[in-house]
Chain A
């Protein structure tokens, strides 16, 4: 059994669930809309970062991204669906790898489009206030936005394979992203910089002062994601279906 048919099957499963397609669309809409809203607020003080203003909506778009990743995996843990899947593809490692690719590739594609749209919309809304922003920084932010959203979707996917429930995954990640990270957000530096969302979002800033730069930050997020996926793969392979 080769990889391509398994991947084909997993891709069919993703695109035939309306909620998953809607989730991907929500990544784009939420990110672009909240970025535009953030740009309208011109009360920015000393620490105004035009690049982060352009990508401010990622804080909301990532909720849609993790929902997509969690739901895509959680669909297998309802009503014995996993048994049907693993009876068709008993090589569990291969099956999970196909699932991860079928989640990651569309998440990355939508993430990159989201980055580009947010960049264009955000720059248009900011107008002259985006003056200092170079195209190089803008492209770095857009590509970083795509990578970050895909990594967060996969982080949620791996966690869901361990917890076997989207509710459990979202119950952990959403409060974490919305509350914990905002609360710790004020305290820059230290271990908080290495949290998956804060590390990965450095790439969305024009300037940074922590230990991590744009790409090293994304690599830290990628390490979190890799750990979650490895735990998920281990769980799928070891546990009874």
Chain B
């Protein structure tokens, strides 16, 4: 089984711990979103997994072996780290040809990934003429070159246009469906929520969460109900009578925390109040994430006094 296994991984730069005793596994068949504020250690962890940086202590393996011990590693692991990695004066095709040659990957794969990433028509243009989104597509094409069972992508949606964002989402979903191990870092919450099945969250180099996406949200953000009737005052009184701490906004819309639409709907109809609007507000990944990282953000001067953290470190 080709999983990524990180064991007690620590990396220090000077005296600063970029990655601090990190242990987690990334399993095949699902997309794992890799979240954390800037400087949380996501990119460093990816470089350590790829053997590009030397860990201060601990290990990182892919398929049970250190990355560097793989023969022709591009056939095992595909990675996108920097969109600017391809030399601007080289054509996209030549960039991929050199990579393919080093791992004895046939040239047909070069044309196949160029086609797949939508770059076939510009493949013979020099990379410096590319937009950031096109460079990002080239980086993803390079990651897919060896048809690897494990894929690591650092901020793949960076610079992509809306069409590109939909494309990368579908690529990630497909890779997971095909049973591959997919680790994707991002700072875009809505984006991550749209493709991830599982989350690994870092803060200041430490593991804050390693849970399925749904669980992560439900554990931190309580659902709310939004409701509007013809008689706002009557609704307010009714909700208060039943112990709901609801608040009304300027449009006469009431928001009821910790409630389900079933309860509020029945309550209103039982009281004979005509319902104009009734909606469940699911917690978003963004809310859950902010709740988790509020006190963990490296550059936050004062820790948030609101709620005790539910961090498991």
Contact = CB atoms under 8 A, between A and B. Distances in A.
Nearest to B82: A80
Contact of A19 (B50, B74, B89): B89
B102 A84 contact: no
A5 B89 contact: no
B114 to A, nearest CB: 15
Contacts of A1: 71-72, 103
B132 interface: no
Interface in B38-75: 47, 50-54, 67-74
A45 B85 CA distance: 55
B286 interface: no
A17 B89 CA distance: 6
A9 B101 contact: yes
A241 B47 CA distance: 8
Given A78-B87, A81-B86, A240-B47, A8 B101 contact: yes
Interface in B150-190: none
A9 B98 contact: yes
Interface string B75-88: 00101011011110
A113 to B, nearest CB: 24
A89 B102 contact: yes
B87 A17 contact: yes
25 contacts: A5-B103, A6-B102, A8-B101, A8-B102, A9-B99, A9-B102, A12-B98, A12-B101, A13-B90, A17-B87, A17-B90, A80-B81, A81-B86, A83-B52, A83-B82, A83-B85, A84-B86, A88-B102, A90-B67, A91-B68, A240-B52, A240-B54, A241-B47, A241-B52, A241-B53
Closest 6 CB pairs of A and B: A80-B82, A79-B84, A9-B102, A90-B68, A16-B94, A241-B52
Interface of B: 47, 50-54, 67-74, 77, 79, 81-82, 84-87, 89-91, 94, 97-99, 101-104, 142
Interface of A: 1, 5-6, 8-10, 12-13, 16-19, 75, 78-81, 83-91, 240-241
